[in-house]
Each structure stands twice: as structure tokens, then as C-alpha cells.
Amino acid sequence: MPTSPNSFRIGPDERGHFGLFGGRYVAETLMPLILDLEKAYNEAKADPQFQGELNYLLAQYAGRPSPLYYAERLTKHLGGAKIYLKRDELNHTGSHKINNVLGQVLLAKRMGKTRVIAETGAGQHGVATATACALFDIPCVVFMGSVDVERQAPNVFRMKMLGAEVRPVTSGSSTLKDAMNEAMRDWVATCDMTFYCIGTVAGPHPYPAMVRDFQCVIGNEVRTQIMEMEGRLPDTLVACIGGGSNAMGLFHPFLDDKGVRIVGVEAGGKGVETGEHAASLTGGRPGVLHGNRTYLLQDKEGQITEAHSISAGLDYPGIGPEHSWLKEQGRIEYVSATDNEALTAFQLLCKLEGIIPALEPAHALAHVTKLAPTLSKDNLLVMNLCGRGDKDVFAVAERLGMKI
Amino acid sequence: MSRITKRFDKLKADKRAGLVIYISAGDPNADVSYEILKGLPVAGADLIELGMPFTDPMADGPSIQVAGQRALKAGMTVDGTFDMVRRFRKETGDDDTPILLMGYYNLVYQRGVERFCKEAAAAGVDGFILVDLPPEEADELKPHAEAHGLDTVLLTAPTTDDKRLPAVLKYSAGFVYFASVLGITGTKSATEEAVARHVARIKRHTRLPVGVGFGIRTPEQAAAVARHADAAVVGTAIVDRVKAGLDANGKPTPGLTAGVLADVKALAGGVRSVSKP
């Protein structure tokens, strides 16, 4: 085992590696662009004007800071840890995705790009990107697997209303990974004018670090809010993980606080033991896809296998490389919750707290329902409620055998 | 000296450019794919790129994506690809035509880079073109490839400027592959003027031969590239010809192999119509 680093927050190295993971595994055509992007991002990061503009938008347009809400009935029901929900589902567009998108689209403007493309699974990142592009008057094309177009129809309609072109992707398995392949193919062909707005902490360097930085607003707010409310840091953090951006946003500011236990919850689908799941860290192994080395669902030879989850947003066979590194470092515990567990948790939150969660954070909540009862009453647990469930009502109704 | 270097030396002595033909290993199935492979040198292919089918070919257009899917569906594997090369060397007795494996790095990485290089070399492979392994990551592969006498052919693109070229060339051996258009395989074609300009630019930085690919479909286009580069690479047009030889159920029709090889012959005619100084 490698010895524990002095800080878990200093990565990646100058080549974009988090230990074994990350990197820049892309076609040569894209390589100069990725280097340009890295340079432009580093400049923007250090520019107070850029940060000021972003902070203004986060506050006045997206509605940040999102509340940190003490879920009293849920806490009593579970009878253990004191549960706080970070209400990122209250952001404009209904999820944490807007945090990252505002940053990237501002950067696209700054770089003089005249077209933005994005991939989307559940449609939350697509909607957020379409929103920011409407705001900044930039043409936007969103690639979405044709399977997801079917199961996330309300979000497809929203993107169209916002002026984006939604391109259904029918190659491969017609889900999120194929949407990402198609976005990269488009990018290679149009790279002089196009900015690729990646929705999660994955892809070639600098995306994993850049998206993380934009999402860290979640964890930074939690630090301030919990200090105000409880006068101390939380004991436990829980978030769901597909690519891992909402989780990284919550976790990263706490990685060096040794007393904070951190748990990431992957989508267990029908159960990790069935092979039909999206739990890359629990059921996969390191490989190279979409520009980075990370844990992947794949067969013996390295062919990528299809992920399975009730939640289109978690239905991805990979995960951000920094999560892979943190797993190997042993800093974060990675567990999984099944489709059925998430469905149960989804209904529980509706009834107890009057909040309809997205299916993605319902996975985090499913784990909270198992974990919280084992913890003492003074254990402060913060769960990231990263999206709201309006988009999922049709899918959930169908699973529950109800007609809308 | 590698088979690739020997072949380019011979082409130079013959005062002509070479024809590089890409086929997807196992497309439409292992037997037909092998028949095509076997016939390529006779039809006029000077070098062969054998595509390793991958589920997520990010840099490829629809034709090569679907070809890979046909091959995977028919059961092609990395071992199966090695077998094709081994059988080619043994059955044809052709010890001169270079065969490069083309594809994506994950298949190499999963087998273990060292083991992959060892097994590829033992099968009779001469080099690699790994689309998603730019110079920034190529140090993982290069020492093992060299140790087993395999050439690493890296891609250059119109976006690879003079400042960046030396980094790409540092990891290149055998030849330099210039992907002549911005985009995925088989979609657009570069103008002859652009090809001439970029090849001349690359040649200012290296003595390695330069092969040009992406968007070359006809004997005329191949001839145009041959006027400026050391080799013309044709992939999508060949893969499309394989597809055209399938019936409605995706089964190969009797004339498929002959049809593909006839196209290769025509392309070779284009390349060979140009005599080089």
C-alpha cells in the first residue's frame, strides 16, 4: 500500500494524474485543445474578475447558497445520526449540475468559443448546459443516448424549449457512454469553434480537476453552514456517485479533515452480484476510456460493458479518476445501493420530509437509511440531495405500477 | 531493421509511395476477414493496419464503429487478432509485409502492456497505432514496444503545430501517421494543397516516412496523396466495401472478398501511377 499523502487535496500532478488514474488519453487532434483549455482555465481560476462573475451568477441566477436543512423527521424515523440534507436540488434547473456549467460556459465565452456541446444521461447536465447557453446566447448541442431520450422525455423537452438541439445517439448501447463518445467525435471535427462542456469529474485532464473545482462550492458552503448551525464539522458525509461530480463537490473540501467519515454510494442496479449494475468502483477494475484511466465496468479483454441502473444519471460504466485514487488511498468508503433500495428511499423522503428527490440522490439516501441507525445521536451526517425528482415521476410511477 | 522500415526503404528504391490498407479484424467474421487479409499484399497493399475491434471507438466514424461491432458480435478477440497475424505469416510465407495493430489503448492495458507487446511480436506484428495514446501518455508503451522490436506509430493532426511536433516525433517509430482532417475517420477529405503543406511541414522535423490517412476513398485521391506523402492510408472505403458484400441478414455474400480485393487493386493502381523522384 502506498503511504498516505500529506494532503488528499493537492492532485492532480502537472500531467493530470491522480496516482495511477486520470491523464489525457485522447486522440492527437484534441491534445492541443486540451492543453489550451488547461491554460485558459488556470488563467481564469486566478482572475478575480472571472471568479466574481461566477460567484454573482451562482448567487443571483442559480440561487446559491443552497440551504443546509436539518431533516428532523427523517432523523427521528431512522433513530440514529442527526441528518442534514444539502439542498442542491433547489438550485435553478433542479440539480447541482448548474454549478459546473456556469463555470464552464463562462470559460467558453472567455476563450472566444462560439458553440457549446455536452453529453447528458438523465438530462440534468443537458438542461443546465442548455440553460447557461440560453443565458449567454451561445448555440448548444446536447448528445443524449436514444434510450435516455425515451426515459427522460421531460428533460428533452426542456432542453428544446431552452433552444438547444438534442441529438439522440444510437451508436453502441445508446446511453450516456455513447453520448460521450459522440460528443468527443463532434468535438474532434469542430474543435476550433466548439467548447465541450463535460458534466462530471471525468474525461481528460483538466476536466476532472476543473469540474471538481466548480462543484466544490457545495462542500465549502456546508463547512460554513454546519459551523454556524452546530459549531463544528460534520462526522459523516454521504453522496451518490455516477461520474461523481456532486460527491466530489461535497467531499473534496473535507478530505483532509481526518475525523470526517466519507461515503460514496454507487448504483447497484439489480445487485452488484447479478452483474447488472453501474458500480464501477465496487464491481469494476482500472482501465482507459473517455480520456482518463479510472475504474471501469469491462470484460476480461477490456471491452466496456453496459451499466444498469434505474437512474439514467448513474448509468455510466466509469467514474471520475480522483474517486478511483481516493478509493485506493482508502480515504473514502465506496458502497452501493440497488434500484429497489433507491425506490424505497425515494418514497420515504416524499412522505417524511415533503421532498421528492431525484433517483440519483435516492441512492445516497438508501445508504443513509442503513447507516444512520448504526450511528450515535450526536453524529452529524450530511447527505447531498443533489437533484429533485420531477424528472423521475414517470419512471417511478411505472416501476410502482401506477398510472399518471 | 523493422519490417516497416525495410518496406519504406524498398518503396523509396522503387520510386513510389506505398498503400496502407485498414481492415477491422474479424469483420464480418474471422474466416472472411482472414481471407481478405491474406489477399491484401497480392492486391497491392504495401502495409496492413489490422483494427482491433473495441466497444467505444471514440475517434472513428460510423463505418468503422459498425465494422467493430460486427466483428465483436462474430466473436473476435485480441487473441483472435493475434491468431490472424500468426496464420498470415505461416500460411502465406509473407515475411515482408508489415502488419500494424490499430485501435484503442484499453485492450493493450488490460492484457498488460509488456505481455501484449510480447505476444504481438511473437505473432508477427510489427507495430501499433493507438489512437488514444498521445505522446503525453506514450511512455507507458514505448519501452516495452522497443524491447520487442515493435514500432509505435503516433498520430499527428492539423492541430499538431510546429511547437508540438517534436514531442510526437520523439515517440514515433516506423513512420508518422498524419490524420489529414479534423474529425473522425471516413467523413471529410483534405485538399491536395493541405496535404502537401502539412507533409512538407512534418518532413522539416523528421526523416521518418509520412503516411497520410482520413478521407481517402478513390484511386484518384490515393494518387493525389502519393504525390506528396510516402504512403496513403485507406480504411473506411474498404470497410464500406465489406459491408456492401453482406446480405440483408448480415451474412457475407460469395463475391465479398473478391470485391474488396478488387478495390484494393484499383487503389494500388492509383498510388503506383505516381512516380517519385
Mean pLDDT to the nearest integer, A337-341: 98
Is residue A164 domain-shared with residue A153, that is, in the same domain?
yes
Domain that holds residue A143: 21-59+97-211
The ipTM assigned to this model is 0.96
Mean pLDDT to the nearest integer, A378-400: 95
- Asked if B110 lies within 8 A of A300 by C-beta distance, the reply is yes
- CA of B51, closest CA in chain A: separation in Å? 14
- CA of A305, closest CA in chain B: separation in Å? 8
Longest dimension (CA), chain B: 51
Model confidence at A1, pLDDT cuts 50, 70, 90, reads very low
Structural contact between residues B195 and B228, judged by C-beta atoms closer than 8 angstroms: yes
Query: What pLDDT sits at residue B260?
Result: 98
- Report if residue A234 sits inside a domain: yes
- Asked if B182 lies within 8 A of A191 by C-beta distance, the reply is yes
Q: How many domains does chain B have?
A: 1
Q: Which residues contact B188 (CB under 8 A, 6 or more apart)?
A: A189, B181, B182, B214, B215
Q: How many domains does chain A have?
A: 2
- Asked if A291 lies within 8 A of B133 by C-beta distance, the reply is no
For cell 472513428, the residue is B60
- Report if residue B274 sits inside a domain: no
Instruction: Using the 3D structure, point to which of A211, A246, A281 is the last residue of a domain.
Output: A211
* CATH number of A156's domain: 3.40.50.1100
Query: What pLDDT sits at residue A298?
Result: 97
Alpha carbon of B10 to those of B14, B158, B194, B200: distances in Å? 6, 28, 27, 21
Closest of A367, A278, A335 to residue A78, by C-alpha: A367
Chain B residue numbers with beta carbons less than 8 Å from the beta carbon of A177 are: 56
Query: What pLDDT sits at residue A6?
Result: 87
Nearest-CA residue of chain B relative to A294? B106
Whether residue A118 is predicted with pLDDT greater than 60 in this model: the reply is yes
Which of A288, A293, A300, A316 would best serve as a mutation to test chain B binding (most B beta carbons within 10 A)?
A288
Span A35-47, pLDDT tens digits: 999 999 999 999 9
- Residue A381, chain B, CB below 8 Å: the answer is no
Structural contact between residues A22 and A293, judged by C-beta atoms closer than 8 angstroms: yes
Whether residue A403 is predicted with pLDDT greater than 50 in this model: the reply is yes
- Report if residue B276 sits inside a domain: no
Q: Which of B132, B154, B182 sits opposite A288 (nearest CB)?
A: B132
- Asked if B184 lies within 8 A of A189 by C-beta distance, the reply is yes
- Report if residue A1 sits inside a domain: no
- Sequential pLDDT tens for chain B (277 residues): 899 999 999 999 999 999 999 999 999 999 999 999 999 999 999 999 999 999 999 999 999 999 999 999 999 999 999 999 999 999 999 999 999 999 999 999 999 999 999 999 999 999 999 999 999 999 999 999 999 999 999 999 999 999 999 999 999 999 999 999 888 888 888 999 999 999 999 999 999 999 999 999 999 999 999 999 999 999 999 999 999 999 999 999 999 999 999 999 999 999 999 999 8
- Report if residue B275 sits inside a domain: no
- Residue A163, chain B, CB below 8 Å: the answer is no
- Report if residue B152 sits inside a domain: yes
Q: Is the peptide bond before B135 cis (omega within 30 degrees of 0)?
A: no
Is residue A113 domain-shared with residue A201, that is, in the same domain?
yes
Q: Which of B77, B159, B161 sits opposite A29 (nearest CB)?
A: B159
Instruction: Using the 3D structure, point to which of A176, A211, A246 is the last residue of a domain.
Output: A211
- Asked if A26 lies within 8 A of B134 by C-beta distance, the reply is yes
Q: In chain A, pLDDT over 70 holds for what percent of residues?
A: 99
- Residue A33, chain B, CB below 8 Å: the answer is yes
Chain A residue numbers with beta carbons less than 8 Å from the beta carbon of B105 are: 25, 288
Whether residue A132 is predicted with pLDDT greater than 50 in this model: the reply is yes
Model confidence at A313, pLDDT cuts 50, 70, 90, reads confident
Question: What is the DSSP track for A184-218?
Answer: HHHHHHHTTTEEE---SS-SSTTHHHHHHHHHTHH
Query: What pLDDT sits at residue B30?
Result: 98
Mean pLDDT to the nearest integer, A305-320: 92
Positive or negative torsion for Cα B49, B52, B55, B57: negative
- Give residues 175 to 194 of A whose Cβ lies within 8 Å of B: 177-178, 181, 184-185, 188-192
Instruction: Using the 3D structure, point to which of A181, A211, A241 is the last residue of a domain.
Output: A211
Cell of B106: 484499453
Question: What is the DSSP track for B39-74?
Answer: HHHHHT-SEEEEE---S--TT--HHHHHHHHHHHHT
Positive or negative torsion for Cα A264, A267, A268, A274: negative
- Give residues 293 to 312 of A whose Cβ lies within 8 Å of B: 293, 296, 298, 300-304
Is residue A164 domain-shared with residue A222, that is, in the same domain?
no
Cell of B269: 493502381
Query: What pLDDT sits at residue A172?
Result: 81
d(CA A197, CA A179): 13
Chain A residue numbers with beta carbons less than 8 Å from the beta carbon of B188 are: 189
Q: In chain A, pLDDT over 90 holds for what percent of residues?
A: 91
Question: What is the DSSP track for A222-285?
Answer: HHHHHHHHHSS--SEEEEEESS-HHHHHHHGGGTT-TT-EEEEEEE-TT-GGGT-S--HHHH-E
Is residue A83 domain-shared with residue A102, that is, in the same domain?
no
Q: Is the peptide bond before A65 cis (omega within 30 degrees of 0)?
A: yes
Is residue A385 domain-shared with residue A259, that is, in the same domain?
yes
Q: Which of A2-11, A320-329, B137-146 has the lowest mean pLDDT?
A: A2-11
pTM of the predicted model as reported, rounded to 2 decimal places: 0.97
Span A62-82, pLDDT tens digits: 999 999 999 999 999 999 999
- Asked if A181 lies within 8 A of B58 by C-beta distance, the reply is yes
Which of B66, B72, B159 would best serve as a mutation to test chain A binding (most A beta carbons within 10 A)?
B159
Domain that holds residue B37: 3-269
Is residue A52 domain-shared with residue A83, that is, in the same domain?
no
- Asked if A27 lies within 8 A of B59 by C-beta distance, the reply is yes
- Residue A20, chain B, CB below 8 Å: the answer is no
Q: Which residues contact A180 (CB under 8 A, 6 or more apart)?
A: A119, A143, A198, A203, A290
- Asked if B157 lies within 8 A of A172 by C-beta distance, the reply is no
- Report if residue A11 sits inside a domain: no
Chain A residue numbers with beta carbons less than 8 Å from the beta carbon of B161 are: 32
Is residue A222 domain-shared with residue A204, that is, in the same domain?
no
- Asked if A26 lies within 8 A of B183 by C-beta distance, the reply is no
Is residue A296 domain-shared with residue A159, that is, in the same domain?
no
For cell 452546530, the residue is A230
Is residue A39 domain-shared with residue A170, that is, in the same domain?
yes
Structural contact between residues B84 and B37, judged by C-beta atoms closer than 8 angstroms: yes
* CATH number of B23's domain: 3.20.20.70
- Report if residue A119 sits inside a domain: yes
Q: Which residues contact B233 (CB under 8 A, 6 or more apart)?
A: B20, B21, B22, B49, B177, B211, B212, B213, B214, B216
Question: What is the DSSP track for B65-91?
Answer: HHHHHHHHHTT--HHHHHHHHHHHHHH
